[in-house]
Amino acid sequence: MIANIQRKTFTTEEYQRMAETGILKEEDRVELINGEIISMAAIGSFHAACVNRLNQLFTRAFRDSAVTAIQNPVTISKTSEPEPDLALLKPRPDFYAANHPTPEDVYLIIEVADTSVEYDRGFKLPLYARAAIKEVWIVDLHKACIEAHSNPSERGYRMIRKFYRGDVIAPPSFPEKVFPVNEILG
């Protein structure tokens, strides 16, 4: 006899209610991807250090022109609410207290990949592309490079550029804000 097994998928509304009622706790390292609650990888020291460097660099550079959100939710669709390592957001007076940012609020998303590079490329990148996020950077700590994915489409990002130590990189919405890759990688 074959059992008919069905998965229960969740909406972002249901997912947020789970957090509000305490079913999901702040210390739970999870995110909602395509209706499924996914456990996120533990953050190692190299990953944490890179996120800390990005936070410091971006907070200084964008203090008057954008919000730097670290590991906070971005509501991508009715069934996906990832928590990128960094999201550079349009400024809002309430700092997104009324609701999480949506794709229209995002200038840039950065995912730092230590052990999660395949997950970030295979699951999160297509999700961001379908949501028309203009640019996503994957900081690949093992290859010591930054992949800049731009020109989103339903089928993925049409342009991928790689930046290595000695190169500089700038977010497309702020081409005058140039960052040495060395400073990001450490």
pLDDT digits (tens, 9 = 90+) for 34-68: 999 988 888 889 999 999 999 999 999 999 999 99
pLDDT digits (tens, 9 = 90+) for 112-143: 998 889 999 999 999 999 999 999 999 999 99
Residue type, 103: P
Is 94 within a domain?
A: yes
pLDDT of residue 126: 96
pLDDT digits (tens, 9 = 90+) for 3-37: 677 788 999 999 999 999 999 988 888 999 999 99
Q: How many CA atoms lie within 13 A of 121 on its CB side?
A: 12
**How far is 153 from 151, CA to CA, in rounded Å?**
7
Is 65 within a domain?
A: yes
Three-class DSSP category at 155: coil
pLDDT of residue 132: 97
pLDDT of residue 151: 97
Q: Please state the domain count of the chain.
A: 1
Is 6 within a domain?
A: no
Average predicted confidence (pLDDT) for the chain:
94
Closest to 107 (Cα-Cα) out of 135, 80, 130, 126: 135
Residues near 116 by Cβ (< 8 Å), separated by ≥ 6? 40, 41
Is 24 within a domain?
A: no
pLDDT of residue 27: 84
Is 1 within a domain?
A: no
**How far is 170 from 186, CA to CA, in rounded Å?**
17
Residues near 162 by Cβ (< 8 Å), separated by ≥ 6? 145, 146, 147, 148
| Domain at 82, CATH number | 3.90.1570.10
pLDDT digits (tens, 9 = 90+) for 70-95: 999 999 999 999 999 999 999 999 99
pLDDT of residue 1: 57
Cβ(178)–Cβ(157) below 8 Å: no
> Could you identify the residue written with the tokens 């049409």?
158
Is 59 within a domain?
A: yes
Q: Which residue range is the domain that position 140 belongs to?
A: 43-185
